[in-house]
Structure 1
Amino acid sequence: MHSLTIAGPHGAIPIRVYPATDTDAGPTPALVWAHGGGFAWGDLEMPEAHWVSQELAARGTTVISVDYRLAPVSAALTDSEPSRAGVLFPVASEEIAAVFRWAVEHAAEFGIDADQLSLGGASAGADLAAGVALRLRDGGGAQPASLLLAYPLVHSALPHPASELAQKIAALPADARFEPDDVRAMNLNYVGDPAELGNPYAFPGGHELAGLPPTFIVNSEHDSLRASGQAFAAELALAGVDVTVCREPGTRHGHLNEPDNPAAHASIRRMAAWLDTRDRLPAVDLRR
């Protein structure tokens, strides 16, 4: 692992590069990865960042984990910790875009196949990744080979759950649910201005998605936010984007933060299989 700091549009950006270890000689696939944390929490040490990066690197993908600047913590979000200053959209989005472009430029230095450089994240980090993919699509230049989204929240308002999911949400304890009002408060805390809730780079769900790269989505089974991941998969398909979506059985939101959970390892295998697919066919054998 290499800890680096690179120049970004809003100052220095700390990153970690996890070189692929289980690979033959030659350039490797790579992934620019953004952890979750409701836009306001999280760091490079959390399992969703560090453990995930280690596991994917051990399976042949070089991972670049991004320590993007966080949104503020306010009383509207939590009463269990002091308020903390932070940054608003588009800072984190622009930082992740900058890291992706940096990875393209420096691919040879780290043995990366620049044509197999993907972009991804978990939860709020998945939203950041999807928004950056739209930003890169519209800006021209290098594009991600694929998108890898773990239990994403990519809509400014949480979509209504289907009956199957609604029953699972109802069975969750209150502290494990994401209520629509809570999701709106979290999203508004990220963008600051209510008008920005409609910005496709902030929340891509419900916007024009044509031209995005092939996308893999892994959702948690018992998770209010699965409504967003499932809706986004349908939107991608309707836009003509190749999409593979799965539901990890028995999991709650954030299960990649649980390295002792066998289901987290199952998701890692799914993610690694997707990243190992050099030709990006929409049908991926996830039984390995």
Structure 2
Amino acid sequence: MPLNSEARSLLDLMDAVGAPPLDSLPPVAARDARAEFAAPILERCHETVDLDADGVPVRLYRPAPADEVPGLLLWFHGGGWVLGDIASHDNICHALARRAGHAVLSVAYGLAPERPFPAALDDCIQATRWAHEHAGELGVDADRIAIGGDSAGANLATVVCHSDPPPLVFQVLVYPLTDARMTTASYDENGEGYFLTASSMRWFLDHYLSGDDGAADDPRVSPMLAADDVLSSDPPALVITAGFDPLRDEGIAYANRLADLGVATHHVHFPGQIHGFFSMPHHLGDARAALALAAQSLADALAQRDPPPA
């Protein structure tokens, strides 16, 4: 399938703007450059509250006045562990909360290289456990907690699932990075010209793994390398992938492996799309479709169910 025409127009616009490649910039400058392209908020939830999860900044998105106790989605933003923050994914979290009818907790985990691996992972684990422990204060159901993210955020979500988390009922993985060895065919096919490049991925990984711990073949970095018994205990998953994405093949392979191990997995592929498309509903129809899919899948997974008969 050819590149989606809207995505092609967006890439042409980015070329016309002439922004320098991310991997040519120091991290702080790259963050400033990316922040200039923050997406507008198209759908607002009922309210947001900024909180402190024992030292990790988080933002709670409440879908509506508290007539019922909703479930909760913890969201870890993308950005290669180097870029992004709560503001960069504010539009996505507003929309997910409003559409799904459940609360969202966006996590501002520490960014590399200032805080290299495993700092981001540790922050996400801490925020997940904190949310479960403080569910009553957050006004959410501790028995209906899901986890998710996009790109590097999806990578963190997968590894949190493998790190003795509190009970999780669902995971939303949007073009997840699951194999940091960068050896799949989609790196060769899509490594240039489609927003995320192979050289940018190397730049991200070099910063993320710049400390004294972790490597590309560590399952905490490459969850595809986790043991079968670890993956088979994962919660049900929605996995979204894009055809013109260097991460395409590892996302597809991860979805297939979960399914093969008996994890209820719904994999939806957008063959004409680029990495990052999910965060661009103001530009791309496929992003609006993917967002609707994620919200409905979350609503279904977190639906209040009647207790079993006595």
TM-score normalised to the size of structure 2?
A: 0.74
Equivalent residues of 2:180, 2:205 under 8 A apart: yes
Number of aligned residue pairs: 250
- The offset of 1:159, in angstroms, is 4.4
Deviation at 1:240, TM superposition (A): 2.2
**1:98 — aligned with what?**
126
Which of residues 107, 113, 117 is equivalent to 2:135? 107
Name the one with the larger helix percent: 2
2:85 match: 43
Deviation of the 1:207 alpha carbon: 1.8
Q: Which stretch has the larger CA shift, 223-232 or 62-71?
A: 223-232
Given that 1:206 and 1:235 are in contact with CA atoms closer than 8 Å, whether structure 2 keeps it comes out as: no
Shift in Å, 1:177? 4.9
Give the SS at the match of 1:97.
helix
Map 1:1-288; keep pairs closer than 5 Å: 1-7=48-54, 12-21=55-64, 25-46=67-88, 49-59=89-99, 60-72=101-113, 86-136=114-164, 142-161=166-185, 169=190, 174=193, 176-179=195-198, 182-192=200-210, 193=212, 196-208=215-227, 209-260=231-282, 261-278=284-301
Any idea what SS the aligned residue of 2:63 has?
A: coil
- Is this contact kept in 2: 1:33–1:65, CA < 8 A? yes
* CA distance 1:24–1:159, change in 2 (3 Å): farther
Q: 1:80 is matched with which residue?
A: none
Q: Please, which runs of 5 or more residues in structure 1 have no aligned partner?
A: 73-85, 281-288
In the alignment, which residue of structure 2 is the partner of 1:77?
A: none
Determine the C-alpha separation between the residues in 2 that align with 1:16 and 1:45.
Answer: 10
Please give the root-mean-square deviation of Cα atoms over the aligned residues, in Å. 2.4
Of the structure 1 ranges 218-227 and 187-196, higher mean CA displacement relative to structure 2 is found in 187-196
CA contact 1:66–1:96 (8 Å) conserved in 2: yes
Q: Any idea what SS the aligned residue of 1:53 has?
A: helix
> Which of 30-39 and 187-196 deviates more?
187-196
Tell me how far 1:215 sits from its aligned partner: 1.1
Alignment CA distance shift 1:279-1:195 (3 Å):
closer
CA-CA distance at 1:268 after TM superposition: 1.0
TM (norm. structure 1) is 0.79
CA distance in 2, matches of 1:215, 1:278: 10
Return the offset for 1:185: 4.4
| 4+ aligned runs moved over 3 Å, structure 1 | 181-185
Shift of 1:195: 5.4
Residue 274 of structure 1: how far off its partner (Å)? 1.2
Q: Is the 8 A contact 1:154 1:228 kept in 2?
A: yes
Distance 2:122 2:159 in 1: 10
Distance 1:188 1:194, change over 3 A: farther
Post-superposition shift, 1:116?
A: 1.4
Check the 8 A contact 2:169/2:301 in 1, yes or no. no
Query: Percent of counterpart pairs with the same letter?
Result: 31
- Determine helix, strand or coil for the equivalent of 1:115: coil
